[in-house]
Structure 1
């Protein structure tokens, strides 16, 4: 017999929930009841990719985002180099130089990256993987105890 995604080898379903937060709350309840949660697994089934478009991408936005990222890296490098400065002026100079160089390089590379796409992806988005349902699985030796706890959990609210 082979194991399926929803029923791993040695696992028994003790609960099924519509959201990850509900499954997480159920496992948290088991933990609060001193149940051995190392015997529990949360499995998401019916996976789908969701891409939320958050805005339009323009050359200006690409350059600004690159400049901001580059400025952070430049600040970090400037702070590291500033450690070796012998006086306060040298430290400030290292930090400011790192910030400026990082800002310029980030802006240049942000613009180059945008130009390289040649308009094929002129939007910004975030991507997530979500499941249609979340099953709480348990080692068969502890399944009945888990079911009893989760029955009390479902009666709470």
Structure 2
């Protein structure tokens, strides 16, 4: 393997600006994805096309309010699964143990899960009393194509837009 090949391989993994000509813009990622699917269905060479999210935002959507009851029940449930797994492993490798390792694993798992959840929640001191999930979204999504195929892509997408209206 030559140094030039290794250096090229390493640089392709670095973040780079997209290249190509803009051929269309969409309000949602799904619409941009459907446009690429439409081009692929019409034998367009989609390799090298890029969907670019413009004006990215991190959106955090709140799912629920956290209470001590919810924290402890969730901790008990996750601890039970971990304890059950450990108990099953122990029962597989302990001759003649029966259900004892499974029950012990389950009990210790619940206790451990409740304790860890309580410590985590108490250490937050009411700073974050909710559960949420985050998404990276963009205000719009531009579809880029290589210059040699941009006009054909625009034409195919324009035909699709006329057909859909």
Tell me the TM-score normalised to structure 1 length. Answer: 0.81
Write the distance in 1 (CA, Å) between the matches of 2:103 and 2:130: 32
- Which runs of no fewer than 5 residues in structure 2 stay unpaired? 1-16
From the superposition, tell whether residues 58 and 139 of structure 1 become closer, same or farther in structure 2 (CA, over 3 Å).
same
Match of 1:26 among 35, 38, 50: 35
CA apart distance, 1:86: 4.2
Kindly report which structure 2 residues correspond to 1:74-89, keeping only aligned pairs within 5 A, or say none: 74-86=83-95
Greater mean alpha carbon deviation, residues 34-43 or residues 73-82: 73-82
1:104-151 deviations in Å (ceiling 9; x for gaps):
211110010000011111122222222100111112222222222222
> Does 2:46 correspond to 1:37?
yes
Number of residue pairs matched by the alignment = 148
CA RMSD in angstroms, aligned pairs only: 2.0
Matched-pair contact (CA < 8 Å) for 1:39–1:142:
no
CA apart distance, 1:70: 1.7
> Does 2:126 correspond to 1:145?
no
1:80-116 deviations in Å (ceiling 9; x for gaps):
33433546x63x4433333322222111100100000
Write the distance in 1 (CA, Å) between the matches of 2:40 and 2:156: 10
> Does 2:127 correspond to 1:120?
yes
Aligned equivalent of 1:99: 106
Greater mean alpha carbon deviation, residues 34-43 or residues 94-103: 94-103
Tell me the TM-score normalised to structure 2 length. Answer: 0.78
Write the distance in 1 (CA, Å) between the matches of 2:69 and 2:83: 20
Secondary structure at 1:81 match in 2:
helix
Secondary structure at 2:128 match in 1:
coil
From the superposition, tell whether residues 72 and 32 of structure 1 become closer, same or farther in structure 2 (CA, over 3 Å).
farther
- Which runs of no fewer than 5 residues in structure 1 stay unpaired? 1-7
